[in-house]
Structure formats: structure tokens, C-alpha cells
Amino acid sequence: MNNKIKLVIYDWDGTLMDSVGLITKSILLAFKELGLQEISEEKAKSIIGLGLYEALKVLAPDSPTETHDLLLETYRKHFSEAAETGMILFSGVKTAVQEHHKNGLQMAVATGKSRRGLDLDFIRSGIGSYFQTTRTVDECRAKPDPHMIEDILQELDIKPENAVMVGDTTFDMQMAQTAGVRKIAAAYGAHPLQDLLKYNPEGVFGNFQDLNNWLVENTQDRQDAYSSSNDILLS
């Protein structure tokens, strides 16, 4: 069986974009502005990766729909203000996706962001053109449902065993596992290392550069000889 990786599906926030801090801060500010019960920073980080509306319902389960709607609007206001000056890619991301694109590796994004939010991030970051396709919660069911991955695989005509999901949350890992694709964990994002390890990813990396080195090594022709042993590199 040829298990060479032909497609890398990236999560966005916390994997390629260093935005976990901004998301967390914006959630906390929204709760404070609306006078809702205070939540911890750890709790706010735990829902990153879900669709935004689903995430806010998890954080405020006893609030009515009207409050969830207002919370969403307030969060977006704070995040938009912060993103104007605080949104940056992790070090090495732009060069890496440019090189992968040049070498013919197909890439996609599967994110819990809205379509509008992802498109704005693509404009700010300048890397949107390197991805063959993208999926957001506006087009697909939210993570951890495998819909995003399944949709991407169908569009690009890629078999699950020839694709890898790269993400920083347990929602990414669960989505990949259900979809039958390989999975790599970014342990520098939103969710703790111990939670990511529960899904037995092939690699767990503490920075983007080490993660990308794994991708480079495992998308070459020698990929077929890849050992199944887990690779954990934390720094």
C-alpha cells in the first residue's frame, strides 16, 4: 500500500496563526462586558477549535439564545480590534507553505473560523493562495465532526491514508481519527500536551519548525519506508 502523504490539511488558529492569546483575551473581554459569570483563561482556551457559536454555547450553557448571539457579536468586536495589530503567523510558516507549494504538495485548511474570518486572515498573512482548498464552519459541520476533512478529500480526490491532519486541539485529533487520516499534533497551540497524546498522533511537536521538518521528511519519495513509531519532539 502506498501511504505517501499527498495532502496536508492544516488547522489555522494555534497551528499556523499565533492567535490563541488573542482569541482567549477576546472571549474573556466579551464575558466581562456583558456581565456574565467569569470564566478562567484555561476554560476559554479549551473550546478553541470548535465553531465559534458552538464554543460560546459551551462556555455559557445556561444562557438564552439571545445572550449567545450578543456574546458572539461582542467577541467579534474585541477580536477584530485586536487582530488589526496582533495577528502573526508562527515563525517559519510562510516560507514552509511556499516551499511545499513549489514542490507540488497539496495543502488545505480546515478551521472552526467563519469564512469571513479566514478570508481576512488570508489577506493579513498573504498565504491564502498556497492552499488548494479550505473549509470553515460556514460550509461544513463543526469539528470534531469529520465533515470538513471528508469534503476536502472528495474535492481533491485524495484517499484518507494519503492525507495528514495537522492541528493543535483535541477536536482536530478526533476529527482526523474519525475521518481515517493520519494526524500530527502541534503542542504549541491551545490544548495541553497530555490531552493531545490521548489520540496517539504520529508526531507531537513543540514548535512549528520541528513540525515542518517532519512534514518535509515524510512527503518525500522515501515516505513509503516511514516507520510507524511515534515521534515526539518538544522544545
Q: Please report, in tens digits, the pLDDT of each residue of the chain (235 residues total).
A: 467 899 999 999 999 999 999 999 999 999 999 999 889 999 999 988 888 788 888 898 888 888 889 998 998 899 888 777 767 999 999 999 999 999 999 999 999 999 999 999 999 899 999 999 999 999 999 999 999 999 999 999 999 999 999 999 999 999 999 999 999 999 999 999 999 999 999 999 999 999 999 999 998 654 343 333 445 455 3
Domain final residue, candidates 37, 59, 86: 86
Same domain flag for 68 and 120: no
Q: Is the peptide bond before 192 cis (omega within 30 degrees of 0)?
A: no
Determine, yes or no, domain membership for 48.
Answer: yes
Determine, yes or no, domain membership for 1.
Answer: no
Domain final residue, candidates 29, 62, 86: 86
Same domain flag for 121 and 181: yes
pLDDT of residue 175: 98
Same domain flag for 198 and 222: yes
Determine, yes or no, domain membership for 69.
Answer: yes
Domain total of the chain: 2
Strand partners, 107: 8
